[in-house]
Structure 1
Amino acid sequence: MPTTDLLAARGKQLAAGAGALTAALALGATLLAAAPAHATTPGPAKPFGVVTAKTGLSQRQYPSTDSSVRGHLHHRAQVGLVCKVRTQSVGGNTVWYLTREERPVWVAARYVTSSGAVRYCKDVQRLRVQPNHPAKHAVG
C-alpha cells in the first residue's frame, strides 16, 4: 500500500475516533447538566433537638445546673446537637447535649427531644464536665 493511502486511512481512523470522542464528551456534558444538584451522596444527617420545656431551656457553660447560664432557648426552638454525656440528673435524666452553636453550650436532655442518633462525647475536655462557676438560675 502506498504511503499516501496509509496516511489517508490513518486520517480516517483518527477522524472517526475524534468524532466518537466528541460525541461522548457532548453526551457526558448533557448528562451532567441534567443531573439534579442533590445527586451527590449525602453524609449522615446532623442530629438536632427541639426544646420541649414550656418555659424554655437554659443553655449552660458546662453540663450541670450549677454551671453558668450562657443563653436561653424558647419552647419548640430547634438546636443542633454535637454529642452527649451522662452527668447530673435533671428530672431523672442524666444525659446532657453539647450544642452546635457559635459558642458551644450544654442543654439538659430532659427538656429536648432529639432527632437522629446523638453520639457520646469521647473527647470532651476535662473542664467541660466539671462545673466551676456559680449558677445564675437553678432551672435545667
Structure 2
Amino acid sequence: MSLTIRLGTGVAAAAALVAASALPAVAQSSTPGGDKPPVYKGRVIAKSGLLLRDAPARGAKVVRSEPYHAIVPIFCKTSGDSVGGNSYWYLLTDGTWAWGSAKYIANIGAVPRWC
C-alpha cells in the first residue's frame, strides 16, 4: 500500500514538473520575497549578427554584438528609433545591459513587458 502512495506522489510530482516546463520561458526570481521582474528570452534572427547599443537608438554607441541564432535574455521593451519599420527595442540582461532592436530578435515564449 505505501509503495502505491509513493509511486502516486512521484507521478504527481513529475506531472507538475512537466506542466511547469510548458510555461513561457521566464527566469525565476533570486531576490528575497520574489520581487524581481521576470527575464524573457529571444533568438537573434539577424543573419549577420546583432549590434547591441547603450541606448535604444540606431546612432547609439555599440557596446557588443550577438551572433545569428544566439539566445538572449530580455529584461523589458521600450520604444526607440525605428529599424525596418519596427520601433521596439529590447533591453538585454546578460551581464552587460545593452539594447537590441526587436526587429532582429524573435521572442521565445511571452512578449517582454514594458520598461
TM-score (norm 1): 0.57
Distance 1:29 1:45, change over 3 A: same
1:37 and 1:120 map into 2 onto residues whose CA distance is 34
Larger Rg: 1 or 2?
1
1:32-51 equivalences under 5 Å are 36=13, 39=16, 42=20, 45-46=25-26, 47-51=40-44
Distance 1:120 1:29, change over 3 A: same
Task: Name the SS of the counterpart of 1:110 in structure 2.
Answer: helix
* Residue-by-residue CA offset, 1:13-60 (whole Å, 9 max, x unaligned): xxxxxxxxxxxxxxx999877874784795863221111111000011
1:70 and 1:37 map into 2 onto residues whose CA distance is 43
Residue 119 (str. 1) matches residue 99 (str. 2) = no
Q: How many residues align?
A: 98
Task: Name the SS of the counterpart of 2:97 in structure 1.
Answer: coil
Letter in 1 for 2:59: D
Distance 1:69 1:115, change over 3 A: same
2:80 and 2:101 map into 1 onto residues whose CA distance is 10
2:47 and 2:11 map into 1 onto residues whose CA distance is 47
1:105 and 1:52 map into 2 onto residues whose CA distance is 17
Match of 1:83 among 70, 73, 76: 76
Is contact 2:24–2:108 with CA below 8 Å preserved after alignment? no
2:24 and 2:106 map into 1 onto residues whose CA distance is 19
1:45 and 1:111 map into 2 onto residues whose CA distance is 19
The offset of 1:68, in angstroms, is: 0.9
Is contact 2:54–2:99 with CA below 8 Å preserved after alignment? yes
Distance 1:35 1:57, change over 3 A: same
Q: Which residue of 1 aligns with 2:102?
A: 109
Unaligned runs of 5+ in 2: 27-39
CA RMSD of aligned residues (A): 2.4
Q: Which residue of 2 aligns with 1:54?
A: 47
* Residue-by-residue CA offset, 1:78-136 (whole Å, 9 max, x unaligned): 10111100111011100000012112111001111112221111xxxxxxxxxxxxxxx
